[in-house]
Amino acid sequence: MNLILLGPPNAGKGTQAKKLFADFHIPQISTGDILRKAVADGTEMGKIAGPLMAAGQYVPDDVVIGIVKERLRQADVANGFVLDGFPRTPAQADALDKMLSGLGKHLDAVISLEVPHKTLVERGSGRRVCPADGSVYHVDQSPPKRAGFCDKCGTGLVQRPDDMPDVIEKRLQKYDAETSPLKDFYAKKGLLKSVDGVGSPDGIYEEIKAAAGKGRR
Ligand SMILES: [Zn+2]
Model pLDDT for residues 72-112, shown as the tens digit of each residue: 988 999 999 999 989 988 999 999 999 999 999 999 999 99
As a whole number of angstroms, the distance between CA 59 and CA 61 comes to: 7
Give the CATH number, domain containing residue 93: 3.40.50.300
Helices H / strands E in the chain, number of each: 8, 7
Domain that holds residue 99: 2-115+169-211
As a whole number of angstroms, the distance between CA 148 and CA 144 comes to: 7
Report if residue 64 sits inside a domain. yes
Parallel, antiparallel or unpaired: strands 127-129 and 28-30 = unpaired
Report if residue 122 sits inside a domain. no
Report if residue 22 sits inside a domain. yes
> What separation in Å is there between the alpha carbon of 127 and the centre of ligand 1?
14
Q: What pLDDT shows up at residue 216?
A: 63
Report if residue 55 sits inside a domain. yes
> What separation in Å is there between the alpha carbon of 169 and the centre of ligand 1?
28
Report if residue 143 sits inside a domain. no
Which residues have CB under 8 Å from 8's CB, separation 6+? 115, 120, 171, 172, 175, 176
Residues with a known catalytic role? 13, 88, 127, 160, 171
pLDDT in tens, 21-30: 999 999 999 9
Report if residue 50 sits inside a domain. yes
Q: Determine whether 104 is exposed, middle or buried from the number of CB atoms within 10 Å of its CB (0-12, 13-18, 19+).
A: exposed
Q: What pLDDT shows up at residue 7?
A: 94
Q: What pLDDT shows up at residue 63?
A: 87
Report if residue 86 sits inside a domain. yes
> What separation in Å is there between the alpha carbon of 141 and the centre of ligand 1?
18
Which residues have CB under 8 Å from 143's CB, separation 6+? 137
> What separation in Å is there between the alpha carbon of 149 and the centre of ligand 1?
8
Total domains present in the chain = 1
Report if residue 102 sits inside a domain. yes
Contact 172, 119 (CB under 8 A): no
**Does residue 155 register a pLDDT over 70?**
yes
Q: What pLDDT shows up at residue 15?
A: 93
Q: What pLDDT shows up at residue 131?
A: 96
The mean pLDDT of 124-138, rounded to a whole number, is 95
**Does residue 168 register a pLDDT over 90?**
yes
